[in-house]
Amino acid sequence: MIANVLPLEWRDGRNPLASLPGVAAVIIQNPVDFAAPPMEAFAGLYGLSSAERKVLEHIADGKPPQETADHLGISVNTVKTHLQKIFAKTNTGRQADLIHLVTRSTAPLKAKQQPTD
């Protein structure tokens, strides 16, 4: 398990969580249950186009360029061109670096699954 402890009052006296009783918030997470990367926010942060975001979603899911191209109905050269643009925008140079950046950008908590009927 991973525990994050956040103070409810900061050194400068601000208390952004004043409505909560106590002195700290404790967030506990099972590392096996990780959240999906926030692709929309990630794409916005790095100025990715919608096409680049779609490519990134597949690559971040572990799909190779050919499978990404087949699924999106584009050529593998187009996937590679999008990847080069993504690398430039994110200041990464390899898929592994890009995936690492995406996973580090993941929210610390996973949204609770709604029961299905």
CATH code for the domain of 71 = 1.10.10.10
Q: What is the pLDDT of residues 34-74, one digit of tens each?
A: 555 678 888 988 999 999 999 999 998 889 999 999 999 99
Q: CA dihedral defined by 67, 113, 26, 34, rounded to 10 degrees? A: -20
What average pLDDT score do residues 27-37 get? 66
Parent domain of 100: 39-104
Q: Is residue 112 part of a domain?
A: no
Could you tell me if 81 and 65 are in contact, meaning their C-beta atoms sit under 8 angstroms apart? Answer: no
- 54: which residues sit within 8 A by CB, 6+ positions away? 72
Residues 29 and 45 in one domain: no
Which pLDDT does position 115 carry in this prediction?
57
Give the count of beta carbons closer than 10 Å to the beta carbon of residue 49: 13
- 100: which residues sit within 8 A by CB, 6+ positions away? none
Checking if the pLDDT of 113 tops 90, the result is no
Residues 27 and 52 in one domain: no
- The whole-angstrom separation of Cα 5 and Cα 31 is 16
pLDDT band at 21 (very low <50, low <70, confident <90, very high): low
Q: What pTM was estimated for this model as a whole? A: 0.61
Q: Is residue 94 part of a domain?
A: yes
